[in-house]
Amino acid sequence: MIFQDPYSSLNPRKTIRDIIAAPLLENKIIPNATKKDIDARVLELMETVGLAERLFNSYPHELDGGRRQRVGIARALAVEPKFIVCDEPVSALDVSIQAQILNLLKKLQRDRGLTFIFITHNLSVVHYFSDDIIVMYLGQIVEKAPAQELFENPMHPYTKALLSAILVPEIGKRKERIRLTGEVTSPIDPPDRCRFEKRCHYACDLCNKGTPQLIEVRPNHFVACHRVQKDCNTITAGG
């Protein structure tokens, strides 16, 4: 797993060598390994993620955020995974550093055949990085589709609102922002109804009578919305 905060996810009392070596030793990745074997593997992992050899005996406080996150990535790679969970891995970094880390992850994915679950609120990052996207609202999946399909043809009202909030990097160009109002449903023991109904501009009578199921409405494009599934006939004032 690659954690969100590179400042709190590394033990400040351990050197970079010890942090990366910990999963190697704990999981016995290298059978009967000597200290020399472990050090060689740590250096190999550091090179893989773009960390200079001179940082081998450094401590986390001596590194900037980007280098700290590279240490976290090296630590995750130490157990030779095929599947890695990335929990907001770039949200705590400067924009220029974000691009470097994302490019590194893309290269690792390509070179090592890795699968990532990338958890983030930044849809621009999602569009760049992901093959498939799942949109969740209050812990429930509301839409799932290939990345390009979801950006070109969003169907769930919440997905549309999220995409409308993405800034357009072009002077003078604006797009209509969908502003959500209304009360957020409590995620604690929610009732059997659409969790987005109180904030939805297209809510209908059916929305508060049952939770919409995730249904494939186009090839490999799934949506949990009565309106999209054409079950909604009577539109009421939502949000």
Indicate the number of domains in the chain: 2
Mean pLDDT of 94-112: 92
Checking if the pLDDT of 38 tops 90, the result is yes
Are 101 and 66 in contact by the 8 Å Cβ rule? The answer is yes
Band (pLDDT 50/70/90 cuts) for residue 221 is very high
Band (pLDDT 50/70/90 cuts) for residue 228 is confident
Q: Which domain holds residue 54?
A: 16-129
Q: What is the pLDDT of residues 146-162, one digit of tens each?
A: 999 999 999 999 999 99
Q: What is the pLDDT of residues 39-54, one digit of tens each?
A: 999 999 999 999 999 9
Reported pTM: 0.83
Q: Is residue 233 part of a domain?
A: no
Checking if the pLDDT of 204 tops 50, the result is yes
Within 13 Å, how many C-alpha atoms sit on residue 200's CB side?
28
One domain, residues 33 and 106: yes
Q: Is residue 192 part of a domain?
A: yes
Lowest mean pLDDT among 4-8, 72-76, 174-178: 174-178
Q: SS3 for the chain, per residue? A: CECCCCCCCCCCCCCHHHHHHHHHHHCCCCCCCCHHHHHHHHHHHHHHCCCCHHHCCCCHHHCCHHHHHHHHHHHHHCCCCCEEEEECCCCCCCHHHHHHHHHHHHHHHHHHCCEEEEECCCHHHHHHHCCEEEEEECCEEEEEEEHHHHHHCCCCHHHHHHHHCCCCCCCCCCCCCCCCCCCCCCCCCCCCCCCCHHHCCCCEHHHHCCCCCCEEEECCEEECCCCCCCCCCCECCCC
pLDDT of residue 170: 66
Q: What is the pLDDT of residues 14-31, one digit of tens each?
A: 999 999 999 999 999 998
Pair type for strands 83-87 and 115-119: parallel
pLDDT of residue 22: 96
Checking if the pLDDT of 234 tops 80, the result is no
Q: Is residue 235 part of a domain?
A: no
Q: Is residue 231 part of a domain?
A: no
Picking from 94, 129, 164, the residue at the C-terminal end of a domain is: 129
Q: Is residue 236 part of a domain?
A: no
One domain, residues 121 and 167: no
- Average pLDDT for the chain: 89
One domain, residues 164 and 103: no
Q: Is residue 2 part of a domain?
A: no
